């Protein structure tokens, strides 16, 4: 009988340790995992031609520090992410969280 690979053992353990994907949602349009709140929905951003998870009341908002358009609710403001060296739209009181699927730090509520 062949031995299971490390990846075959590690992935289920990682999913269990992360609360079976708690705080992570798979984006079938990009093929990537995103940090997202439970109520977040996939929404289309016509300025970037991309689908992303965002709060239900989000709309495209311009981030002058990155010179990009991001889906965000009205109360989100640009905040600096020192781990990734970039500005991101984030809600008041958001804290940085590590996304084990992408290996990046992201703002989460």
pLDDT tens-place string over residues 24-72: 999 999 999 998 889 999 999 999 999 999 999 999 999 999 999 999 9
- Report pLDDT for 3: 59
> Do 23 and 35 contact (CB within 8 A), yes or no?
yes
| Cβ neighbours of residue 83 closer than 8 Å, sequence gap 6 or more | 96, 104, 105
- For the whole model, what pTM was predicted? 0.65
pLDDT tens-place string over residues 83-92: 999 999 998 9
pLDDT over 90 at 95, yes or no: yes
DSSP designation for 91:
-
- DSSP strands (E only) in the chain: 24-27, 32-35, 41-45, 50-54, 59-63, 68-72, 77-81, 86-90, 95-99, 104-108
> Please, what is the average pLDDT of the chain?
84
């Amino acid at each position: 009988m062949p031995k299971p690979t490390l990846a075959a053992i590690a992935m289920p353990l990682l999913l269990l340790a992360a609360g079976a994907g708690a705080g992570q949602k798979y984006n079938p349009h990009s093929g990537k995992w995103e940090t997202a709140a439970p109520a977040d929905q996939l929404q289309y951003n016509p300025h970037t031609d991309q689908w992303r998870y965002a709060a239900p009341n989000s709309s495209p908002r311009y981030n002058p520090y990155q010179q990009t358009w991001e889906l965000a609710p009205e109360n989100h403001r640009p905040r600096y992410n020192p781990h990734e060296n970039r500005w991101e739209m984030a809600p008041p009181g958001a804290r940085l969280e590590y996304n084990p699927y992408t290996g990046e730090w992201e703002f989460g509520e």
